[in-house]
Amino acid sequence: MHNRKVAAPSNALMLENAPISETWSALLVPRLILPLAVLLGGNLLHSMNLLITATLLPSIVADIGGSYLMSWPTTAFVAASIIAATGSVVVSKAIGNRRAFCGGAVVYATGSVFCALAPSIVVIIAGRFVQGLGGGLLSALAYVLVRSLFAEPLWPRVLGLLASVWSVTVLVGPLIGGIFAGYGYWRGAFFAVAGAGGLLAIGAFMIFPASTGEDHRDELRFQVLSGGLDLRLHCLFVASERISSSGGQRRARHGCHRSIRSIAAD
């Protein structure tokens, strides 16, 4: 175990010049566990929505139609996520990291409400695009905020935790979608993540420090790191969801054809 004295960032949630232990247990202190939970929650909220619709789309199509557009909700979400992640530094410079993160959570929740209330697949696609804008900000700013909230010796561990969230997504996303689809209430999944987005915005506003004169060159370096990682992970998860969605689309079409045959037989 190694301890070193480091100067924390000007708005970090720790005492300046306090000894920082470069161990996992150093992240479990009360002043760090809450901001860490918010950052991980934002990354999880964004990443799990890449797969949550894989198990929801068959139910959505069976309810409101639009099987020929089944691939577009995912495409809209990913495209908006990349756009938002790319422009996150501009947004954080304009309004500050805390406001940008809270704004991303609110935008994400708004898009989720659009999806939950959607009368057609076109509105689902629009809602997913709005979701992607908010989620892209959350994911990118989670990496940027590491520098402001934690001392430098802890950065590799926090970044590792943020990256590991994507492995949890493989289980959590389809599981949540499957539970709501199994109960025949796909809209509830979007209401649930909308509520989570609202709670995340409140938590970030209460826990994160107000932005001060941050070094934007370091923020840009973290942004390039997060953007490259997000892009690679997006490609991986989009590919997996396309496979799942194509199977769901075939099942949905088979169900529709079977219903039509049964109606014709009657």
Q: How far apart are CA 39 and CA 93, in angstroms?
A: 19
Mean pLDDT computed over every residue of the chain? 77
For residue 85, give Cα distances in angstroms to 38, 141, 166, 208, 265: 18, 8, 16, 20, 53
Residue 93, CB-side half-sphere exposure with 13 Å CA sphere? 11
Going by C-alpha positions, the residue among 207, 161, 156 that lies closest to residue 47 is 161
Is the Cβ–Cβ distance between 187 and 174 less than 8 Å? no
Is the Cβ–Cβ distance between 41 and 63 less than 8 Å? no
Q: How far apart are CA 26 and CA 151, in angstroms?
A: 10
Per residue in 125-160, pLDDT (tens digit) is: 999 999 999 999 999 999 888 888 888 888 888 998
- The per-residue pLDDT for 240 is 45
Q: Could you give the domains of the chain? A: 29-152+167-251 (1.20.1250.20)
Is the Cβ–Cβ distance between 150 and 12 less than 8 Å? yes
Q: Which residue has the higher pLDDT, 248 or 184?
A: 184
- The per-residue pLDDT for 230 is 52
pTM of the predicted structure, to 2 decimals: 0.75
